[in-house]
Amino acid sequence: MSFDYDLFVIGGGSGGVRAGRLAAGTGAKVGLAEEYRMGGTCVIRGCVPKKLMVYASSYAEAFEDAKGYGWSVGEVSFDWGKFIAAKDIEIDRLEQIYGKNLMAAGADMFLARAEVVDAHTVKLSTGEVFTTKHILVATGGTPFVPKFEGHEYVITSNEVFHLEQQPKRFLVVGGGYIACEFACIMNGLESKVTQYYRGEQVLRGFDHEVQGFVAEEMRVKGVDLHVGTDVQSIVKTDEGLVVTNTHGVQIVVDQVMYATGRVPNTQGLGLENANVALGGKGQIIVDGYSQTNVPSIYAVGDVTDRVNLTPVAIVEGGAFVDTVFHGIPTQPDHELIATAVFTQPEIGTVGMGEEEARGREEIEVYRAAFRPMAHILAGKPERMLMKLIVSCATRKVLGCHIVGHAAAEMIQLAAVALKMGATKEDFDRTMAIHPTAAEELVTMNTPVGG
């Protein structure tokens, strides 16, 4: 049978573009449709603009720290509008690069919504219909907001990057990394920030000590963090949004941002037309090769709800092309994925937390909590935390956790060591670089009790 395309990709984010570009590079005829903007969540309304906001929010502390080092810093102020305009220019630039790279590889790009008609057919919102040998769904995820009285007044991480004015009174609802990051961002930009989370502690799934360490530092820096607390209702008034929480306490804020999780973006894609199997969250169920129950249809990235990180989607897209277009069956490796959380202080982590590891085998824990040199003259009490989780049986380092400045940069290289199977003795044999915070990773020599 003759098809219009060898591959049609639905979704122009990191995973979809990587797969489309690599497949086109093999000589395959590739089409890709994106209904919003090229680049997907990460580039347009996720990692990239968020990190720019993290940088912007860090300067208030930097100005204060500079005084301790002899600098005379004059009056400072933050211009929200100027920052947003500069951020938009950079996002536009990156969006154009994504499109140019895709087309340079020989793929056809359609700025339209695509839906599945059957196992080998897609239909665009423009009315165009194409047949294709393979379909790859890479539509990512979308923020979830529960229904409650006044839910229509809240924003999500999709909208926060486009606010015309800075909200001076800001409520964040949620306890995951997105919620905590934006609480820190807006606090750093000197908004008055309150955060509600219905669970016992923020950053569920992380090492428990890391959770508590970061939560305490966030409070010290000025975030009014409340756990065991949720929103009951929101009423819009002339004074602002009146929020009543589950304890009956009311606060008035300018903006409420919900970061209460994301769900796979599968609504309205026509997947039922091809009988593609979905999970309970709406995620596309795939095997180790990203193939669905329909042999011609594959899916990568957050829409599969495996590991929802941009680099993972990129690797999954590449593995898909190796499997389907190079004839080299390749499963993406989801083990020992390093992650960073750009809170203030930031987190870098790879491998198991202490609690997970203890539930599996006998372990040793090496820990250092200290005030880094950079904070001494600045007069800041902020501390850093480093932990290594070590198997007693194999001596392998099962987990590495860093909280503090440049934690994300450090954890990337630590992840290489763990991926290679480094033991505690490998860390011990590594010469320290002094004076650095990172030297603590190779100088911790006494396991903590418990």
Helix (H, G, I), strand (E, B) or coil at 194: strand
Instruction: Using alpha carbons, select from 127, 159, 97, 158 the residue that is nearest to residue 33.
Output: 127
CA dist., res. 195 & res. 203, Å (int): 13
Between CA 97 and CA 261 the distance in angstroms is: 29
Order of all β-strands in the sheet with 231-237: 231-237, 240-245, 250-253
Q: How far apart are CA 20 and CA 143, in angstroms?
A: 25
Candidates 224, 218, 231; CA nearest to 260 is 231
Q: Which of 134, 151, 405, 434 is catalytic?
A: 434
Sheet holding 363-370, edge to edge: 339-341, 347-351, 397-403, 384-391, 363-370
What backbone torsions phi and psi does residue 315 show, to the nearest 5 degrees? -65, -40
C-alpha torsion sign, points 273, 275, 276, 279: positive
CB 207 within 8 A of CB 355: yes
Q: Which two tokens stand for residue 122?
A: 């897609």
The residue type at 158: N
Answer yes or no: 434 catalytic.
yes
CA triplet 181, 187, 192: central angle to 5 degrees? Answer: 130
What residues contact 368, with CB distance under 8 A and at least 6 apart? 384, 385, 386, 387, 440, 444
Which runs of consecutive H residues, i.e. helices, occur in 291-364? 310-324, 354-358
Angle subtended at Cα 408 by Cα 406 and Cα 412, rounded to the nearest 5 degrees: 120
**CA 183 remoteness from chain centre:** 15
Residues 159 and 157: their CA atoms lie apart, in Å, by 6
Positions annotated as catalytic residues are 434
